[in-house]
Structure 1
Amino acid sequence: MFELYLVLITCFLLPTCYLITNSLRYIYDQIKTINKIQKINNKTQLNNKKILSLIKIYINRKKWLDCITMLEASINQIPINKISAEYYNYIGLCYESANMYKIAQRYYLKAYNISPLEKNILKNLANIYKISGDIKNAKKINQRLILLNKNEYTSNY
């Protein structure tokens, strides 16, 4: 009977320990990334990869204002349109998560104007139109997304 008890407890504790270990490792990786970025002397020279990793940390921690501030400060320093469209998309995502849909829509439109063929931007823009109740524009964007997927599918074969 005692052995059965030990087996049951072990079966319960092993997955729990695994989940806790993965969570701790994820937090450790976040802290390590933040510490690497803090050691950089000239913060204006952060590359896109480090900025995006920091942004993803802020989003996972639901630090919307920190994320928006970081992106707004970085967006004018990036000369590449595709990267600035990605930044605008992340800003829109932060505002959408903070339930500020009109502002999110404005940033998604800025991202869309820079990069109209980016699927993530189209999905987010269609979603924000749907949330705002603008079904007509949501359908337009969804049709454009379907057409883009169809063209991509036919070009692969």
Structure 2
Amino acid sequence: MFEVYLILVTCFLLPICYLITNSLISIYHQVKTLMNIKKSTIYINNKNVLYLAKIYIHRKQWLDCITMIEFYMTQIVINETTTIVQYYNYIALCYQSINMYTIAKKYYLKAYQQEPLNKHILKNLANIYKLSGDIENANKTDQKLIELNEYQDI
């Protein structure tokens, strides 16, 4: 009987240990990246800024994420439009998460102006229109997304 109890306890604790270990590994990688970036304060590339933004978003530190991205948008020379679009998308996601839909819509529209054929941006833009109560623009954006899907399926 005692052996059955031990087996049941082990079966219950193993998944918990696995989840805790994965979380600790993730935190270790985040801290390691932050330390590497602190050491090289002269130049931070766009890849590291986007990684930091994901860390802030994962930790639900919306205002820290917004501040950091907007700071690096003015400091870093951005050669790729996809990077600036990702910056706008992350900023809009942060504003959307703190229920500031008007500002989020502004940043989603900036991202849309840079890449009007990006499905992810169109989906986010339609979602923010729905959240802010602008059903007409949400339907127009959904229609653009449908047309884009049909065009790419051809």
Q: TM-score, normalised by structure 2?
A: 0.93
2:41 and 2:100 map into 1 onto residues whose CA distance is: 34
**Structure 1 ranges of 4+ moved more than 3 A:** none
The structural deviation recorded for 1:117 is 1.0
- For 1:18, the equivalent position in structure 2 comes to 18
TM-score by length of 1: 0.92
Structure 1 letter corresponding to 2:124:
N
Q: Percent identity?
A: 61
Q: 1:110 Cα deviation (Å)?
A: 1.0
- Structure-1 separation of matches of 2:126 and 2:15: 39
Structure 1 gap ranges (5+): none
Tell me which residue corresponds to 1:128: 128
Distance in structure 2 (CA, Å) of the matches to 1:46 and 1:120: 26
Q: Which amino acid aligns with 1:20?
A: I
Report Cα offsets for 1:62-93 as digits up to 9, x if no partner.
Answer: 11111111111122332433321221111110
* Residue 64 of structure 1, aligned match among 48, 57, 62: 62
Structure 2 counterpart SS, 1:41? coil
- Per the alignment, residue 145 of structure 1 pairs with 145
Q: Distance in 1 between matches of 2:4 and 2:96?
A: 50
Q: 70-79 or 3-12: which moved more?
A: 70-79
Cα drift, residue 153 of structure 1: 2.1
RMSD: 1.2
- Tell me the residue number matched to 2:98: 98
Q: Which of 32, 44, 50 is equivalent to 1:46?
A: 44
The 2-side partners of 1:105 and 1:41 are apart by 32
Once residues 37 and 56 of structure 2 are traced to their aligned partners in structure 1, the CA distance between those partners, rounded to angstroms, is: 14
Query: Secondary structure of the equivalent of 2:139?
Result: helix
Paired residues in the alignment total 152
Following the alignment from structure 1 to structure 2, what is the Cα–Cα distance between the partners of residues 122 and 35? 36
Q: Give distance in 1, aligned partners of 2:41 and 2:33.
A: 15
- Secondary structure at the aligned position of 1:141 is classed as helix
